Chain A
């Protein structure tokens, strides 16, 4: 059994028993992780907060279906990824209005401009590539863990990561953030 899984299974058992302290601990342990994935995937704070809440509610509701011999983190991230996919699909049917775009800008203003440029490039990735990239670089999951989380072969994960890096590098060069020789252009 994974070392974290033992601890996680005890926490899950207490959550299922309706222990408020356990629910608090559950949120404390996983909220930041899930929110990080959601905000990177959705690039919009309010959407990310809603997706985080949905993920945690669904996770606790379905905790009895979790395989306790495995770590909880990839299982939760898979739920969060599904919530993000659903929200992204809803967005394609309903384009962002002006207010939502304004909120998106507010999210990016949290960091320096280089990070904003990076986030813009990440947001431009196709959904699978973006998810793969965020799980690898933001959540620091291994290729194998990503394959488990997304239920796809490791080779596919490697391909998606390669394409994501290529696309981001190209976009950063096109926008003049990095020059052809790989040097950052300090235009800010």
Chain B
């Protein structure tokens, strides 16, 4: 290899980013001090280029550039930071949702609670006087309340009203010949009312059994 060939080989090396010389170039290098000096300068330049490439100033922040591009192309952007607005919106919606849920639960609980005490007596009396039907849950609740309050009149009114229901005649639902001691909590002989399901049918059965045993026959007669 001649010195001119070696110099061409040096050019090929950096043009193709090849780290090493060919075998022929290395052989020439060991025999030619001038080319050795040239090669050393090339290596020194490569080292300096590597240092220079690494020492690049930091680019400017991207935000102003994005802003300029958005302005240029008419892209609509929010005037306040989106994260803050979104957080406020979420907090408001969450608070409203919680309040709504609490209100619904409270109203549902209050509406499904059985009336008790004086209110039950009044409603039962009013209902008997007006002849209007109460919802089933109210009737059962009234029944139990009457039993617990030991008010005979309330119990009588309630039983009469239930007796008025054509599908709930006493003969159909009642098991005759029961001589067990009446108990508000019921026992194994209590029979559920067919078609009412559990536990409602069983509770109604217990209530009627208790009333039937506890009240005098005269109180349950239509004229009473």
Contacts and interface: CB of A to CB of B under 8 A. Distances in A.
Nearest to B52: A118
B134 to A, nearest CB: 62
B95 interface: no
Contacts, number: 120
| Majority-rule SS of B interface residues | helix
Contact of A138 (B47, B48, B56, B58): B56
Range class of the B interface residue count: 35 or more
Interface in B29-43: 37-43
A183 B41 CA distance: 7
A143 B15 contact: yes
Interface residues of A, number: 50
Given A111-B55, A138-B56, A161-B15, A27 B69 contact: yes
Interface in A138-161: 138, 143, 158, 161
Contacts of B42: 165, 169, 182
Contacts of A23: 66, 69-70, 73, 75
A79 interface: no
Given A18-B73, A31-B65, A57-B68, A172 B55 contact: no
A52 B74 CA distance: 20
A173 B37 CA distance: 13
Interface of B: 11, 14-15, 37-45, 47-49, 51-60, 62, 65-66, 68-70, 72-75, 77
